[in-house]
Amino acid sequence: MKKWIPMLLVSASWPALTAATDQPDTAALQQEARQITQQFGGQLKSLLQAAMASGGPVNAMQVCKVNAPQIADTASKDSGWKVARTASRVRNPANQPDPWEQQVLQDWARQMAAGTAVEQLQPATLVSAAEYRFMQPIATADLCVKCHGAELAPEVRATLAELYPQDQATGFKAGDLRGAFSLRKPL
């Protein structure tokens, strides 16, 4: 019987120890963030594809302007996360990166300059006492170049000039890093 005592002690003290350090479960948080990102990205892309097919890029502009923030808001309300998009060169000044986001975007850009493909970039995370943050790279696809490329149709250029006079998000080609999904959750 004696043999059992140390084992019982160990197993009894284990939950108490983990509770005392009060560490957030970062693996679970990262998993959750990846799921939300996938869902948000998937919804956006299918809406965008449908709108491009039915009415071309000027019509599809509404998806990026109106639907993207709406889907992000809904995802945020449903999940308790704040879901956003950002980039080094933004179209909408409201999507400007904060210092941490800027640093991650620059780090990814350096990795790509050194030969890493955009698909191989790894998500970034930041944990503080107050919140958990997660960033996932967004690649430029063929579809995106119609509104973010170097050569835009005149009507696309005109619509962008009207809606986004400070637009910096052109000149991209397929395979470039376009920006990032950026998520945060209070802890």
* Pattern 76-115, ligand HEC, x by CB under 6 A: ---------xxx--xxx--x--------------------
Q: Which is nearer to ligand HEC, 29 or 156 (CB)?
A: 156
3-state secondary structure the chain: CCCHHHHHHHHHHHHHHHHHHCCCCHHHHHHHHHHHHHHHHHHHHHHHHHHHHHHHHHHHHHHHHHHHHHHHHHHHHHHCCEEEEECCCCCCHHHCCCHHHHHHHHHHHHHHHCCCCHHHCCCEEEECCCEEEEEEEEECCHHHHHHHCCCCCHHHHHHHHHHCCCCCCCCCCCCCEEEEEEEEEEC
Please, what is the minimum distance in Å from the beta carbon of residue 61 to ligand HEC? Answer: 5
Q: Which is nearer to ligand HEC, 76 or 86 (CB)?
A: 86
Cβ proximity to ligand HEC, 127 vs 141, nearer residue: 141
Q: Does residue 133 touch ligand HEC according to CB under 6 A?
A: no
Contact pattern from residue 47 through residue 66 relative to ligand HEC, giving x for each residue in contact according to CB under 6 A and a dash for the rest? -x--------x--xx--xx-
